[in-house]
Structure 1
């Protein structure tokens, strides 16, 4: 009798500015929590599921007119070396993935341009 392999966790997403991602690649880890706030300021990195991404992008970057294009970091949770928790901003609300520490560059398995 063979054991079933654990189901892999779905990939999580984080939208950011290309320049911030480029700087993270040089450092080896990504440490921005959300638009204009660092991991140190917020305590975790805000992420989303694929289904949540359009709403998150509209909320954070709906009026974005910055010089850099926006990119979506596709993160494989199995490659994180810090805790990942799904949490709601208030009781009964939708849960979002939060990464409690820097995201290693190696955990970002794809980068998509956001339009």
Structure 2
């Protein structure tokens, strides 16, 4: 599964040992969970939440996360906005060791 984040938030997480950002401009404490998506959902997530970002001023990275490295009791597939499409949500901090890859992204949100 995948998660977009600004590079500076990921760097702070690696120093702290855990990631606590829910989504763009949202915290785990405020939202209650961390937003993720599956591969086929990445383009839509990028378009809805990230396409307007100036990558030169605020670089974005794409985290690849192995769900097997997460507590299954904290990971839920659900839709929290009233639709029918299910997205993975983690109800707790993301351990940095569960991240298997970190890629810079291009203007379309694709890994480079």
What range is the shorter-chain TM-score in? Answer: 0.7 to 0.9
Q: Any stretches of 5+ residues in structure 2 without a counterpart?
A: 107-112
Aligned residue number for residue 80 of structure 1: 70
Report the TM-score, using the length of structure 1 for normalisation: 0.84
Tell me, yes or no, if structure 1 residue 61 matches structure 2 residue 55. Answer: no
Give the TM-score taking structure 2 as reference length.
0.87
CA spacing shift, 1:92–1:23, aligned 2, 3 Å: closer
1:40-74 deviation per Cα after TM superposition (whole angstroms, max 9, x unaligned): 00000000001101110111111112622111110
CA distance, structure 2, for counterparts of residue 70 and residue 114 of structure 1: 6
Q: Which has the larger radius of gyration?
A: 1
Confirm or deny that 1:97 pairs with 2:84.
no
Match of 1:25 among 5, 14, 37: 14
Taking only aligned residues, the RMSD between alpha carbons, in angstroms, comes to 1.4
Q: Structure 1: where are the runs of 5+ without partners? A: 1-11
Structure with the higher helix share, 1 or 2 = 2
Q: How many residue pairs were aligned?
A: 104
Runs of 4+ in structure 1 off by over 6 angstroms are: none
